[in-house]
Structure 1
Amino acid sequence: MAEDRPDDTMFQDAVEALRRGDKTRAKELITLLLKADQNNPTYWIWLSAAVDNTKERIYCLQTAFKLDPENGTAKRGLILLGALAPDESIQPFPMNRPRAWEEKLLLANEKPKERGFKALAKSPITRLAFVLLIGAGLVSAVIFGLILPRRSNVRPTETNTPGPSPTFTTTPTLFGATAPPTKAVLGPTPLSYFLPQTYTPTAVYVNTPRAAQSGDQYRLALAAYAEENWDEYISNMQIIASLEPDAADVPYLIGDAYRFKGDADSALDFYNEALKINEDFGPAYLGLARARLLDNPKANVDALFEQAIELDPDFGEVYLERARYNINNNDPEAAIVDLDRADRLIPNSPTVYMTYADAYLALDDKKSALEAAETAYSLDITNLDVYKLLGKLHIESGEYERAIEALDVYAVYETEDDQVFGLLGQAYYEMGNYEVATNNFDRAEALNKNGIRKFLVYKGLANLELNNLDKAVEDLEKAASADDTSFVINLGLLRAYYLQEKFGSAFQKAEALRSLAETDEETALMLYWHALVQEKRGEVKDAIKDWQALLKMDADVMTEKMRSDAELHLRTMVTPTNTSKPGTKTATPRTPTPRSGTVTPTPKGGTGTPTPTPK
């Protein structure tokens, strides 16, 4: 597997991981390399050695073989796996090193004598000296690490309060395959690994230096905060509160921890406790606003935002939070004004630009929303929410491949977000990859049965294209119960009922489409399917009217196949007859029979009849 090996650090790390048997790490690194260069056959070959089953291994080697048909390694692998016919021109893998069993059979006097450090390390005298050295080190560690520090309680004061770090606990999988979660230490490479330099998050606004006697406790609190262990953080901060009874920021920070836990009542108590210590402490009013919104998203907290700004007009977080509040209350214009202020006070904040994107989306300015999201990404590629937002925006703009790229990164680290798997399903549906789409929809539904509702129409249509008719009907009927005026949903049900030969139900949906069709394209689809259904129901005259009406429409409002089907059906259904006037004929409808001369198509996804994009 040494053909055309790229000379880059990440690839070499992947190769080394494979050599030491760490397939999880190797697969993770090679998957990331393939996101940057999917047409590299060498990456695919090495990935085949890292995946877990034969089906995935064959897929990787077949991909490499398609990219490089002369690649001997890919050919040999496919032959060995039975996926390619044997080829005598392909040489077997070279045996340029001794086999393991041969190595074990070598006699002691046949093996080369060890020299240097290896020989020295096997000497009994050397081993005894090494044990004595370790013992002396342990004694020193006990004296200097445990006994001497107890003589002094004075510790340097911690003054920096970093924000919480995300904990990544999953392993990336091979393009749509599912892998079980692994321990945190074996998780995917943190996104910060790919930064050219360390990203520094926006500093916490409240940053009061701690008293000397609080140093140890504050250090423990910070460690708990970084791990998002809110109970331990609260416990340590409450000890600090007893040591610093006049510090208003301590109960404020405890209130924040309760808010992160979702305990709005306790958060409110501690924010109010901060105001009892200092009624002019502006951040506490922001905390009250956040806690009340946590308890009731429709709460009116305008006065609290105003109070916080009045006491501290340079508190950028207030403007940012109020911008979110205004977006949720359908006032994106006011949100933009607040975000402009927040941007001046918290420059280069990815969170500010993420909120800009939300505001522009609310204004239906998708171009500006995408620009803001891309700016947020450029400021902090470790912010997972950016990838989710970019995925949504790329779907909105019809850039489904880019949407999948962004959402795939998010899904590697957040495996419990049903909405992201729903969005992936939607993007794959739009790309025409219906099997992968349904896999993602099934995963989303397994995580949250209610969360899949907004994606049911895509799930139903994907199952329809795969001819999973019962599943398609089940999904589309659920979607119709939420929106029975959707042209797309009713058309999907019509098609499914038709294929199930439930022509009465199909006719009801065809009739409903008459009033739901708004564009010429939708009218053409309605006539096409109405005609097919009426033929099956024996309503030949009605079907002829539909076909004739369809042919009178402009050719550009339908597919070429729809028009050719209409012409063919009319020729089959109408028999010319002589009239009393010489030289003229009239068309007489005749009932089609199931003989070979009658065309009765069974439309599926590939019939040339397009399905409009769900709105």
Structure 2
Amino acid sequence: MAHDFKEHSDDTIFQDAVDALHRGDKPRAKELLTLLLKSDQNNPTYWVWLSAAVDTQNERVYCLQTALKLDPENGTAKRGLVLLGALPPDESVQPFPMNRPRTWEEKLLLADEQPKEKGLKAFSKKPAVRLAGLTVIGVALCSLVVFGFVLPRRANIRPTQTSTPGPSPTFTATPTLFGSTAIPTNPFSGPTPLWMFLPETYTPTPRYASTPRAVEASDYYRLAEDAFKKGDFDTYILNMEMILPIEPTSADIPYLIGEAYRLKGEANNAIRAYNDSIEIDPNYGPPYLGIARARLMGNPNFNAESLLNEAVRRDPYYAEAYLERARYHLQHNDPESALEDLERAEELLPLSPAVHLLYAETYLAMDDREKALEAAQKAYSLDITSLPVYKLLGELYLEDEQYQKAAEALEIYTIYATEDALALAELSQAYYEIGNYEAVVVTFDKATELNRTGLRRFYAYRGLSQLELGNADEAVNDLETAVRENDRSFAVRLGLTRGYYMQGKYGSALLQTDAMGSLAETDEEKALTLYWRGLSQEGRGDTRDAIRTYNELLGMDEDVMTPKMRQDALDHLKELGFSTPTPRTPTVTPTLRTSPTPSRTSTPTRTPTRTPTRTPTP
């Protein structure tokens, strides 16, 4: 019975959400649909309707893609993704059905095409009939005015009453607590917060040593806490300062005031409050951590180790101090010391996502990518609302060549972190590796509009994508930038060769094949070099060298080239009037590589610098 009631309740909420959408009340619809998804995240219908309630195109695409994953045959999701450009057009996807009459078609009919009207309606449209009707209505109105208002008024004449001079009566407003008018709540807009998709809200880590408040201070403390939750730090500080004379021996009050100043970005005021806390109780550990954080705000190179050590010494069970000291060690290239502090922090806070996120960053600094990915996934399982986890997972999936997962993680991150140019560039790399070339161009364009600094190594992905889209000029511009960033990349040299060849710049293409020859390490790369050298020489008119190059290519094992490369070489030799050599039978079957994979260079910032490995089909 309880189950039936829940289903009935969900149906009612769903119908309310649909009605809200029909009224144009998107915030209300989004709120109701999000509530439904908390209880049933695998319902594709809810995701489809949520796509109509969200505000941004990225959110709509995400909702429809989720619906399509849950129901691969969902026609509505497919049509929506096609209209949004996230799926290629498909004839099997039927257009939206017409479920309402096309009233506008009747308005386009000419006078002689419209059906003839009959009966009373046609009679009433005659000019004479209309004039007679207006006359009757006018006479009736005049009679009503005369007999209904004028004559009765004359029969009931009374002396005019005079009003007594004086002020108008006033009304006293009902007093409120603060003497102010309530402000209506604004409907929520923008990307749906990640926590709204949770079946249950995560319980935050409790504050350090929550001291019981005096009875006289309880109201001030409650108001302060409400202000803190809203991010109103000024009101928080004001109410906490009212508690100071009530609880002059409580060291946590000035410490909490210092925390509010620190979160406001006022480091000097924060330090003064922390020192006040230490004066009350020198053995209270948190203000030492607070001073270290405030000092680092003003000077990232400040040596805060002694303050962090003091915080741990004053309170060996202060998990946040161990976590902050681990972060400090990691920033100063001491991951081993960071790991020791993290182990202690994990003992005190075993279910803290922040601990496991820092574990992942520490293992990454130690070049242990397997453990880094495992720790990041653990952090994700503990808190799916943490944006830094999505970014780190995306970067680790890129390193692990799990490009689809990398794209999914970075898509969610960039929906909310819209100003992170580096994350958008990394997302464009993931799109390139899964073959979504249009998305590469759009995403990397957004990244360069935000900030071009530090993105030169990603130009290769947009350049190679432009090649696949047939945009030679744009491709060459990007690939020339990529070569200036890394002139030892075989894949970028190959792409630039193709771009020059598409532009008809055969001499420039030939120069790039010379560079490819010096970088080629495998037989597959040598075959690609010979193939494009032959095409470039033929384009330049150097027939002799083109023939020699084609013959050298055909003399290699068949398994080191694609069938198209071999057939092209045979066709070009026939056109040039020369016979072809007998192909070699491979003695050892090499591993077929469709793309060269240069070695990676790890960087301390976790930014993958791997050269694009997808070799475009010749």
Structure 1 residue 434 displacement after superposition: 0.7
Instruction: Tell me what 1:45 maps to.
Output: 76
Q: Quote how far apart the aligned CAs of 1:335 are.
A: 2.7
The equivalent residue for 1:336 is: 339
| Alpha carbons 1:62, 1:78 under 8 Å: kept | no
Distance change in 2, residues 1:563/1:313 (3 Å) = farther
Distance change in 2, residues 1:34/1:487 (3 Å): closer
Kept in 2, the 8 Å contact 1:281–1:311? The answer is yes
Which residue does the alignment assign to 1:458? 461
Choose the corresponding residue for 1:360, options 336, 353, 363.
Answer: 363
Quote the offset at 1:211 in angstroms.
4.3
Aligned counterpart in structure 1 of residue 316 of structure 2, from 310, 313, 317: 313
Q: 1:19 aligns with which of 12, 22, 38?
A: 22
What is the CA deviation profile of residues 533-583 of structure 1, one whole-angstrom value per residue up to 9, with x for unaligned ones? 233233444444443444444444433323333343344446369xxxxxx
1:447 to 446, 450, 465: 450
How much has 1:342 moved relative to structure 2? 1.0
Give the C-alpha shift of residue 349 in structure 1. Answer: 0.7
Contact 2:525–2:596 under 8 Å retained in 1: no
1:270 Cα deviation after fit = 4.2
> Which secondary structure does the structure 2 equivalent of 1:207 belong to?
coil
Cα distance in 1, alignment partners of residues 377 and 331 from structure 2: 22
CA contact (8 A) 2:82 2:88 kept: no
Residues 553 and 399 of structure 1, relative CA distance in 2, 3 Å threshold: same
Q: What one-letter code is carried by the residue in structure 1 that aligns with 2:498?
A: R
1:610 Cα deviation after fit: 4.7
* 2:205 corresponds to which of 202, 208, 215: 202
Shift in Å at residue 318 of structure 1? 2.0
Instruction: Find the aligned partners of 1:251 and 1:387 in 2 and give their Cα distance.
Output: 35
Query: CA 1:489–1:212 in 2, change beyond 3 Å: closer, same or farther?
Result: farther
Distance change in 2, residues 1:76/1:205 (3 Å): same
Q: For the residues of structure 1 that align with 2:101 and 2:504, how far apart are their CA atoms?
A: 45
Check conservation: 1:531, 1:546, Cα contact below 8 A. yes
How high is the TM-score relative to the length of structure 1? Answer: 0.66
Contact 1:45 1:61 in 2 (8 A): no
Match of 1:501 among 477, 500, 504: 504
CA distance in 2, matches of 1:60, 1:573: 44
Unaligned runs of 5+ in 2: 1-6, 31-47, 52-59, 103-170, 180-185, 583-592, 598-609, 613-618
Equivalent in the alignment of 2:139: none
The aligned counterpart of 1:374 is 377
Q: Distance in 2 between matches of 1:325 and 1:435?
A: 41
**Alignment CA distance shift 1:317-1:147 (3 Å):** closer
Q: CA deviation at 1:350?
A: 1.1
C-alpha displacement at 1:500, in angstroms? 1.8
Inter-partner Cα distance in structure 1 for 2:525 and 2:14: 51
Query: Amino acid of the residue matched to residue 302 of structure 1?
Result: E
Q: Does 1:436 align with 2:439?
A: yes
Deviation at 1:35, TM superposition (A): 0.9
Choose from 458, 471, 479 the match for 1:468. Answer: 471
- C-alpha displacement at 1:465, in angstroms? 1.8
Aligned partner letter, 2:364: L
Amino acid at match of 1:45: T
**1:160 is matched with which residue?**
none
Query: Helix, strand or coil: the match of 2:534?
Result: helix
Inter-CA distance 78–205: structure 2 relative to 1 (3 Å threshold): same
Which residue in 2 is equivalent to 1:302? Answer: 305
Corresponding residue number in structure 2 for 1:614: 611
Q: 1:219 to 1:445 in 2, by over 3 A?
A: farther
Secondary structure of the structure 1 residue equivalent to 2:572: helix
Displacement of 1:316: 1.0
Q: How many Å apart are 1:251 and its aligned residue?
A: 3.9
The code of the aligned residue for 1:29 comes to L
SS in 2 for 1:185: coil
**One-letter code of the match for 1:357?**
A
Q: Distance in 1 between the 2:73 and 2:249 partners?
A: 64
1:117 matched to which residue of 2?
none
Cα 1:46–1:557 shift into 2, 3 Å: closer
The alignment yields a C-alpha RMSD, in angstroms, of 4.1
Residue of structure 1 aligned with 2:421, choices 411, 418, 423:
418
Task: Name the counterpart of 1:384.
Answer: 387
Runs of at least 5 residues in structure 1 that lack an aligned partner in the other structure? 1-5, 81-137, 149-182, 578-584, 587-607
Flag the 1:537–1:210 CA change in 2: closer, same or farther, 3 A: farther
2:216 pairs with 1:186: no
**CA distance in 2 between partners of 1:298 and 1:222 (Å):** 33
Secondary structure of 1:470 counterpart: helix
> In 1, are the aligned partners of 2:457 and 2:486 still within 8 Å (CA)?
no
Instruction: Return the alpha-carbon distance in structure 2 between the equivalents of residues 528 and 265 of structure 1.
Output: 67
Q: Deviations over 1:348-393 (max 9, x none)?
A: 1111111222223233333332322222222222223222232223
Q: Read off the aligned partner of 1:398 and give its amino acid letter.
A: E
Whole-angstrom CA distance in 1 between matches of 2:101 and 2:420 = 40
How big is the shift at 1:435?
0.7
Residue number among 399, 403, 414 corresponding to 1:400 in the alignment? 403
In the alignment, is the contact (CA less than 8 A) between 2:457 and 2:485 conserved in 1? no
Count of matched residue pairs: 480
Aligned to 1:132: none
The 2-side partners of 1:308 and 1:465 are apart by: 57
* Percent pairwise identity: 48
Task: Tell whether the 8 Å contact from 1:272 to 1:284 is kept in structure 2 after alignment.
Answer: yes
* CA apart distance, 1:194: 2.9
- Alignment partners' CA distance in 2, 1:217 and 1:316: 28
Aligned partners of 1:286 and 1:304 also within 8 Å: yes
User: Which residue is equivalent to 2:567?
Assistant: 564
Distance 1:312 1:500, change over 3 A: same
Which residue of the partner structure matches residue 538 of structure 1? 541
Equivalent position of 2:532 in the other structure:
529
Contact 2:67-2:74 within 8 A present in 1 as well: no
Measure, in 1, the Cα distance between the counterparts of 2:405 and 2:99.
32
Q: 2:291 aligns with which of 288, 292, 305?
A: 288
* Higher deviation after alignment, 370-379 or 475-484: 475-484
**Structure 1 letter corresponding to 2:18:** V
**Closer, same or farther in 2 for the Cα pair 1:187/1:563, shift >3 Å?**
same
Between structure 1 and structure 2, the one with the greater Rg is 2
Q: Provide, for residues 267-298 of structure 1, a one-character-per-residue CA deviation record: whole Å limited to 9, x for no partner.
A: 44544444344433322232233334434444
Q: 1:499–1:34: structure 2 CA closer, same or farther, 3 Å change rule?
A: closer
Contact 2:428/2:440 (8 A) holds in 1:
yes
Tell me what 1:29 maps to: 50
CA contact (8 A) 1:434 1:466 kept: yes
CA distance in 2, matches of 1:549, 1:407: 45
CA deviation after TM superposition for structure 1 residue 11, in Å? 5.9
Kindly indicate whether the alpha-carbon contact (under 8 Å) linking 1:62 and 1:74 is maintained by their aligned counterparts in 2. Answer: no
Deviation sequence 1:175-201 (CA, Å, 0-9, x none): xxxxxxxx8613344333332333101
Instruction: Quickly say closer, same or farther: Cα 1:575–1:328, change in 2 above 3 A.
Output: same
Q: CA deviation at 1:439?
A: 1.2
In 2: Cα distance, 1:227 partner to 1:43 partner: 41
CA change 1:546–1:352 in 2 (3 A) is farther
Question: Retained in 2: the 8 A contact 1:418–1:451?
Answer: no
Q: In the alignment, what sits opposite 2:138?
A: none
Shift of 1:496: 1.9
Q: Return the offset for 1:249.
A: 3.1
